[in-house]
Amino acid sequence: MTSTDIQFDAQGQLKHFLTIEGLKRDHILQILDTAQSFITLAKKEIKKAPLLRGKTVVNLFFESSTRTRTTFEIAAKRLSADVINLNPQHSATSKGETLLDTVNNLEAMHTDLFVVRHPNSGAANLIAKHVPPHVRIINAGDGRHAHPTQAMLDMFTIRAHKGDVANLRVAIVGDILHSRVARSQIHALAALGAAQVRVIAPKTLLPTEVERLGVHPYTDMHEGLHDVDVVIMLRLQRERMNGAFVPSEQEFFNLYGLTADKLAYAKQDAIVMHPGPMNRGLEIDSSVADGPQSVILPQVTYGIAVRMAVMALIMGGKPVARKRRGNRSTRGSDETTPA
Amino acid sequence: MTSTDIQFDAQGQLKHFLTIEGLKRDHILQILDTAQSFITLAKKEIKKAPLLRGKTVVNLFFESSTRTRTTFEIAAKRLSADVINLNPQHSATSKGETLLDTVNNLEAMHTDLFVVRHPNSGAANLIAKHVPPHVRIINAGDGRHAHPTQAMLDMFTIRAHKGDVANLRVAIVGDILHSRVARSQIHALAALGAAQVRVIAPKTLLPTEVERLGVHPYTDMHEGLHDVDVVIMLRLQRERMNGAFVPSEQEFFNLYGLTADKLAYAKQDAIVMHPGPMNRGLEIDSSVADGPQSVILPQVTYGIAVRMAVMALIMGGKPVARKRRGNRSTRGSDETTPA
Amino acid sequence: MTSTDIQFDAQGQLKHFLTIEGLKRDHILQILDTAQSFITLAKKEIKKAPLLRGKTVVNLFFESSTRTRTTFEIAAKRLSADVINLNPQHSATSKGETLLDTVNNLEAMHTDLFVVRHPNSGAANLIAKHVPPHVRIINAGDGRHAHPTQAMLDMFTIRAHKGDVANLRVAIVGDILHSRVARSQIHALAALGAAQVRVIAPKTLLPTEVERLGVHPYTDMHEGLHDVDVVIMLRLQRERMNGAFVPSEQEFFNLYGLTADKLAYAKQDAIVMHPGPMNRGLEIDSSVADGPQSVILPQVTYGIAVRMAVMALIMGGKPVARKRRGNRSTRGSDETTPA
């Protein structure tokens, strides 16, 4: 069984959510459509659905990220789950307990869903292979491997603001080499049949043979951004940059930081995305981050809805029936544009 | 728009709760009366009201204070809200995200109410100016500026134990200079028309021209406490004291620490208050802290009710109708004395 | 009043849960039977009971233990309580507030139940003596004194897998000297009339005059494990071991680490228990920890049910009526075997 098979049950339904790799277009659309229903819920006076009532969701963050953890915590609470936040580097694992002992123990407490972030690629997969059938795993970022809920909220954002991904040229800019976000975005864009996916970075931050992922590499922003519909900026991990990859922050900003000047190379109605938190003045200029083409804050809003959708679907909530919704190809910005 | 205007809506109702400055007597009485109804709730078998069900309250503490955070967490949970605790110095802001980016992100998650503590004066105001109309802000302490819920629970305590504030002489003792608590108390006592407000401190801990706040400064406890009805001790911030303000802890205790001897200067039935946590043996002697005139623990109890009241009122819960309650001036200790 | 009396009310019902010492067989069986009903609940679709709805449970952990805290947090949330987690070494106590001031303040917030872990023996007792009548205390481990909920889940485990404790020989292996777990287990096994209780450890890790506790001391695993029905391994506190008690980890493992070879000295159907977190390769070998005789993970499952039972009972939940359940001596593994 490969790492991409383990996330499906015998009927081909999503059981865990570990990676975008191996997902079909229909899986992705099912998540996006379900998320759309939670966007509606968020506008109601009482933003709660009882779908996970009586369930225990564990946020198991071996790598700390208050932001991401908060989005999952809010999503789970809006679905009426009980939520337990754990940051195991400060606890049992520091007493010599292994990853799987930690998971075994939590699972023995009759917990139902683990949201796992871990510095090692493959950690969420390892856990998913190991847990009993009724326990579900969501990968909230593992090493350089994948961050699938981030990619799903990015797809939701693109569909909401630009319509069908199949017609679009998308550029991903920044530290492609170390980015689990970029990896998951590339798989999602491929599954949805994006017209063209480009990656833009200095050579030192591009994976070798990146073309094998089906993307077009650029080292120059002018060429790379030319005529694209969507610009996705990545976060430059200051903590990882030590001179080996980037000569200086100033030089990176000059060459790759998204300014109004560089954004002008893209289509006039191109949207600008960023997974956050932003390094203003490093990978993105404030005038662009806060400008009219930015959809960075809507991304955050969609992130809650997408995480609710993934939780509801893998926990067995009835997905939104797709057949009642008419011709897929006509679905686009008018249906999903945020109010 | 001044910092005091921003907390009202077009109808003059409280929308945020940032400072006591600019509040009218009626605003304060509305909060105190609403708090009284939550005192009753706390005595019931099930201490829950559904007023904030489906709402998300974020405790956003840039300065850590487990005590204050816990009171807001308990208050919000008793109102049935979902509560998210964040301590941003440990998270995104340390990755270079700005205060407003943090707030923007949380607000994009459709959160409803931020309880903000911040080391910089004006932080809660800045946030309140910035958020969209449906988001509410409570200032849980900003720099040396204000701590309005603390002042409200102090007013509740005085009214509960001594009746109408208009008839009372109140002394505030200790580090007036650095105290946001004192500043908020002085504004609240003024709005309620206290007969006299005194501040007692060594000269180094009194603001210059403190009389402009309408208070009477004293540097001697004997004179300052003479015939007062209420003694409010402030916490001496050990971490701030470096010899510049106070020669030694022992000398401070000798001159300004509240002992039974010094308390005897006040009226026989004077009450003793302290916002906590106390430095026993520094600003207050244990015999007084635990003695019959101390209302320090009732303050904590009222603190939950007052915070529930502020949350309920600014989130649009129907305030207690004041007209049904008869003549204001007759309301006093018998109505509000704790059981 | 001795430390063992304080946990009963005037009718001899459990009011606090501080120590196993002084509990009668019937108290223990009442907890085990109540826990059994919560095992059933955990298998339902919605794992919630409304017994503590509107109550506030405070996890007050002066010594950090994510694992134990999590079990109490899950237990309280499944009973529908509001839960507040506090780790006071990081907060007010570090500002000079005393233990009882912390407790007084929390109790003034109308909290109902404190789950207390503290490095000092007697801390939970001190708090229980101090709080007003409606507040309840559970000791989640105090110094070297007691860890009564751990002992109760161990008794539940033994009864579930081996039937009536009265017929069993039980060996407790490891750092008896420093172990609050061992102390509570010994009291519980005595109250249930275990046929024989043995303790096995190097002399340096056995309390002087350990026989006074009614146990049989051994320093040799071969002799000590001979023909026992239950083997309870203790966690060796690496942080406490500094050469004074144990020459080296390797030597400890050679002499006292539970391997398949040593386990063969016990009865063929003996069960192996461990309170966790395990030091694999120090006090227990992985082949045993994960082997067919291990009931270490079921212990964790029972731990939630037992903690729910203790919370429900001391908060005044109606206990399981014992008379309806027939002859006690026939209750055994078939009734309580986990599914």
Do C218 and C291 fall into the same domain? yes
Q: Which chains touch B (3 or more CB pairs under 8 A)?
A: A, C
Cross-chain residue pair B47–C110, CB shorter than 8 Å: yes
CB–CB of B134/B9 below 8 Å? Answer: no
Q: How far apart are CA C81 and CA C85, in angstroms?
A: 13
Whether C101 and B70 lie within 8 Å, measured CB to CB: no
A301 vs B91: CB contact, 8 Å cut-off? no
Q: How many domains, chain C?
A: 2
Residue C313 confidence class, pLDDT cut points 50, 70, 90: very high
Q: Angle at the Cα of A335 (from A331 to A338), degrees rounded to 5?
A: 135
User: Pick from B44, B238, B300: which is nearest to C105 by CB?
Assistant: B300
Residues C171 and C118 in one domain: no
SS3 B90: helix
> Could you tell me if C123 lies within 8 Å of chain B, comparing CB atoms?
no
Residue of C206, C204, C211, C258 whose CA lies nearest to C231: C258
> How far are the Cα atoms of B170, B229, B266, B271 from residue B332, in angstroms, in the given order?
17, 15, 21, 15
Nearest to A99 by CA among A67, A135, A66, A63: A63
Distance from CA of A98 to the nearest CA of C (A): 9
B26 CA to centre of own chain: 17
Q: What is the pLDDT of residues C223-256, one digit of tens each?
A: 999 999 999 999 998 765 666 777 788 899 999 9
The closest alpha carbon to A37, from A274, A313, A297, belongs to A313
Q: Say yes or no for a CB contact (<8 Å) between A104 and C70.
A: no
Provide the β-strand partners of residue A171.
A198, A231
> d(Cα A34, Cα B45) in Å, to the nearest integer?
40
A89 chain-B contacts, CB cut-off 8 A = none
DSSP state of A90: G
- Mean pLDDT, residues C97-116 taken together: 91
Kindly state whether residues C68 and C165 are assigned to the same domain. Answer: no
User: Does one domain contain both C74 and C136?
Assistant: yes
Residues C316 and C257 in one domain: no
Q: For residue A56, give the nearest of C44, C74, C278 by CB distance.
A: C74
Which one of the listed residues C68, C111, C149, C157 is annotated catalytic? Answer: C68
Told to judge if B95 belongs to the known catalytic residues of this protein, a careful annotator would answer yes
Extract the residue ranges of chain A whose pLDDT is less than 70: 1-4, 89-97, 239-243, 317-339
DSSP string, B283-328: TB-HHHHTSTTB-HHHHHHHHHHHHHHHHHHHTTPPPPPSGGG--G
H helix runs in chain B, sequence order: 25-42, 66-78, 99-108, 123-130, 148-162, 180-191, 221-225, 249-256, 260-263, 286-289, 296-314, 333-336
Structure tokens at B323: 């007209």
Tens-level pLDDT at each residue, chain B (339 residues): 455 589 999 888 999 999 999 999 999 999 999 999 999 888 888 889 999 999 999 999 998 888 999 999 999 999 999 999 998 864 445 445 678 889 999 999 999 999 999 999 999 999 999 999 999 999 999 999 999 999 999 999 999 999 999 999 999 999 999 999 999 999 999 999 999 999 999 999 999 999 999 999 999 999 999 999 999 999 998 766 666 777 788 899 999 999 999 999 999 999 999 999 999 999 999 999 999 999 999 999 999 999 999 999 999 854 444 443 433 333 333 333 333
Please indicate, yes or no, if residue A192 is contained in any of the structural domains: yes
CA distances from B270 to B164, B169, B253 (A): 14, 10, 20
Does residue A307 fall inside a structural domain?
yes
Residues 6+ apart with CB under 8 A from A35: A152, A153, A156, A302, A305, A306, A308, A309
CB contact residues (below 8 A), chain B span 27-46, against chain C: 42, 44-46
Please tell me the distance from the alpha carbon of residue C198 to that of residue C220, in angstroms, as a whole number. 11
Mean pLDDT in chain C? 89
Structural domain contains residue B107? yes
Give yes or no for a contact between A317 and A167, defined as CB atoms under 8 angstroms apart: no
C95 touches chain B (CB under 8 A): yes
In a domain, A56, yes or no: yes
Question: If you average pLDDT over residues C275-303, what whole number do you get?
Answer: 96
Q: In chain B, what residues touch A46 (CB-CB under 8 Å)?
A: 53-54
pLDDT, position B319: 46
Q: Are residues C48 and C91 in the same domain?
A: yes
Of C15, C78, C117, C159, the catalytic one is: C117
The DSSP output letter for C120 is S
Q: For residue C113, what pLDDT band results from cuts at 50, 70 and 90?
A: very high
Query: Between chains, do C97 and B298 touch, taking CB under 8 Å as contact?
Result: no
Contact (CB, 8 A) for B227 and B169: yes
Number of other residues whose CB lies within 10 A of the CB of residue A193: 12
Please check whether residue B228 lies inside any domain of the structure.
Answer: yes
* Alpha-carbon B51 to chain mean position: 23
Whether residue C172 is found in the same domain as residue C132: no
Determine the Cα–Cα distance for residues B212 and B232; give it in Å rounded to an integer: 20
Yes or no: say if A207 and A182 are a contact pair by the CB < 8 Å rule. no
Assembly ipTM:
0.87
Decide if A96 and C238 are in contact by the 8 Å CB cutoff.
yes
Q: Does some domain include residue C10?
A: no
- pLDDT value at position A324? 39
Q: What is the edge-to-edge ordering of all strands in the sheet holding B136-142?
A: B82-86, B56-61, B113-118, B136-142
Instruction: Please report which helix (H) or strand (E) contains residue B84, including its range.
Output: strand B82-86
Instruction: For residue C196, give Cα distances in angstroms to C171, C190, C199, C213.
Output: 8, 9, 10, 12
Indicate which of B41, B45, B67, B306 best probes the interface with C, i.e. most C CBs within 10 Å of its own CB: B67
Same domain, B290 and B309: no
CB contact under 8 Å between C74 and A82, yes or no, is yes
- C53 close to A (CB below 8 A): no
**Of C15, C78, C147, C187, which residue is the catalytic one?**
C147
Partners of B111 on chain A (C-beta within 8 Å) are: 74
Residue C273, strand partner residues: C232
Shortest distance, CA C145 to any CA of chain A (angstroms): 22
In angstroms, the CA B101 to CA B113 distance is: 16
d(CA A225, CA C98): 62
A15 within a domain of the structure (yes/no):
no
Same domain, C286 and C222: yes
What is d(CA C208, CA B134) in angstroms, rounded to the nearest whole number? 67
Provide the pLDDT for residue B2: 52
Whether residues B70 and C84 touch (CB distance < 8 A) is answered with yes
Does the beta carbon of C103 lie under 8 angstroms from any beta carbon of chain B? no
A99: distance to nearest CA of chain C, Å? 12
Preceding amide of C277 cis, omega within 30: yes
Q: Over chain A, what is the mean pLDDT?
A: 89
* pLDDT at residue A43, rounded to an integer: 83
Contact C73, C85 (CB under 8 A): yes
In terms of domains, do B199 and B81 share one?
Answer: no
Contact B97, A277 (CB under 8 A): yes
Chain A residues whose CB is inside 8 A of the B82 CB are 74, 77-78
- Residues of chain A contacting B52 with CB distance shorter than 8 Å: none
* Interface touch A300/B105, C-beta < 8 Å: yes
Strand-by-strand arrangement of the B230-233 sheet:
B216-218, B196-200, B169-173, B230-233, B271-273
Catalytic machinery residues of A: 67-68, 95, 117, 147
The tokens for C263 are 């386990």
8 A C-beta contact, residue A30 and residue A322:
yes
Q: What is chain C's length?
A: 339
Encode B140-170: b = buried (16+ Cβ within 10 Å), e = exposed.
bbbebbbbbbbbbbbbbbbbbbbbbbeebbb
Alpha helices in chain A (DSSP H): 25-42, 66-78, 99-108, 123-130, 148-162, 180-191, 221-225, 249-256, 260-263, 286-289, 296-314, 333-336
C225 and C239 co-located in one domain:
yes
Q: Mean pLDDT check: name the lowest of A327-331, B37-41, C64-68, C210-214.
A: A327-331
Options B15, B16, B27, B117, the catalytic residue: B117
Q: Is C67 a catalytic residue?
A: yes
At C306, the amino acid letter reads: V
B304 touches chain C (CB under 8 A): yes
CA distance A304 to chain C (A): 23
| B70 and chain A in contact, CB less than 8 A | no
In this predicted structure, what is the pLDDT of residue A243?
A: 67
Task: Say if residue A42 is in the same domain as residue A74.
Answer: yes
Whether chain C has a CB inside 8 Å of the CB on B301: the answer is yes
In this structure, are residues B7 and B128 in contact, taking their beta carbons and an 8 Å threshold? yes
CA-CA distances (angstroms) from residue A203 to A7, A243, A246, A251, B187?
Answer: 34, 14, 10, 14, 62
> Residue B232 sits in which domain range?
148-295
The residue of chain C with its CA nearest to that of A90 is C66
Chains linked to C by 3 or more Cβ pairs within 8 Å:
A, B
Q: Does residue B5 lie within any of the structural domains?
A: no
Whether B271 and B230 have beta carbons less than 8 Å apart is answered as yes
> Nearest-CA residue of chain B relative to A298?
B108
Contact check, Cβ <8 Å, B91/A304? no
Tell whether C77 lies on the interface with A, counting CB pairs under 8 A: yes
CATH number (domain holding residue C67): 3.40.50.1370
Per-residue pLDDT tens over the stretch C127-171: 999 999 999 999 999 999 999 999 999 999 999 999 999 999 999
Is B25 labeled as catalytic in the residue annotation? no
Alpha-carbon distance B100 to A25, whole Å? Answer: 37
